[in-house]
Amino acid sequence: MDRIRTILLPGSILPAQPAYEALIEALGLGVQAVAKDLELYAGDEPPSGWSLDTEVDGVLRQADALGWETFHLVGYSGGGSAALAFAARHPDRLLSLALLEPAWAGNWDWSPGHTELWKKYGQLEALPPEQFLPAFIRLGVKPDAVLPPPPPEPPPPWMAKRPAGIKAFLRSLKDYDLERERLAAFPRPVFYALGGMSNPDAYGEIASRLARVFFPDFHLEVFPKRHHFDPPHRIEPGRLAELLRRHWEQAEASYAAGPTAVPLRGSH
């Protein structure tokens, strides 16, 4: 029996391997999971002219190098935004999409709370690096969420790239056109994992908007005790792995049954 093929995109802080190590182990031998780092951090500075399209092209190169014509795509936070951009541009390459609290999901239909949140993200730009990351992290969770303490050892070398990378990410989204109509035409199942302690004006709002876009084949799973910075792929990998395997198996069965089994979109 063929193994399930998936590419996993991390967020804008942890590199792919430590981010997904526990999940890959929980997925087991039946899944060929490739944790791919963001192109954003390929060099010492963000690439000139970086946008989500840079990440889309990187995923395409990775899939082609693996010889994968079709595959499942998983993205967390910034990687979730890149996964959405990939689904809009190359829907024919995907068997399914799984989103673990994407950091951003288009500039349309924002709620007042989401609009206010992005104003606060914009205000972070002026902060020095040592203040930027703590303030950025706090915006992603509910006020009563407990954040993990900083590790006692010195930060790893890759951490020095993160403030500039996150700022480049936030700036680029102001002009990026993630087309709602193209997402609405995406014909494959979409899974969304949401932390109950994450900022609802961020990731809950995005879940609500994408549920309307991807209706009817959108599945939301809530992890009540999790938030954006202790996400299920690291803290509850066993439960998430089970849900993802079910999502992928159903998607592959639908794909094998042919286009008549795929629900029509874009009419809502």
pLDDT, tens only, 131-168: 988 999 999 999 999 997 877 888 899 999 999 999 99
Q: Which residues contact 205 (CB under 8 A, 6 or more apart)?
A: 110, 111, 113, 114
Q: What is the pLDDT of residue 150?
A: 78
Mark the ranges of the chain whose per-residue pLDDT is less than 50. Answer: 260-268
What pLDDT does residue 148 have? 79
Residue that the structure tokens 């990775």 belong to:
62
Quote the tokens at residue 123.
């205000």
Over residues 54-90, the pLDDT tens digits come to 999 999 999 999 999 999 999 999 999 999 999 999 9
Q: Which residues contact 109 (CB under 8 A, 6 or more apart)?
A: 180, 209, 212
Residue 233, Ramachandran bin (φ over 0: left; ψ between -120 and 50: alpha; else beta): alpha
Task: Kindly report whether the global pTM for this prediction surpasses the value 0.85.
Answer: yes
Query: Which distant-in-sequence residues (6+ apart) come within 8 Å of 7 by Cβ?
Result: 33, 34, 36, 59, 62, 63, 71, 72, 73, 74
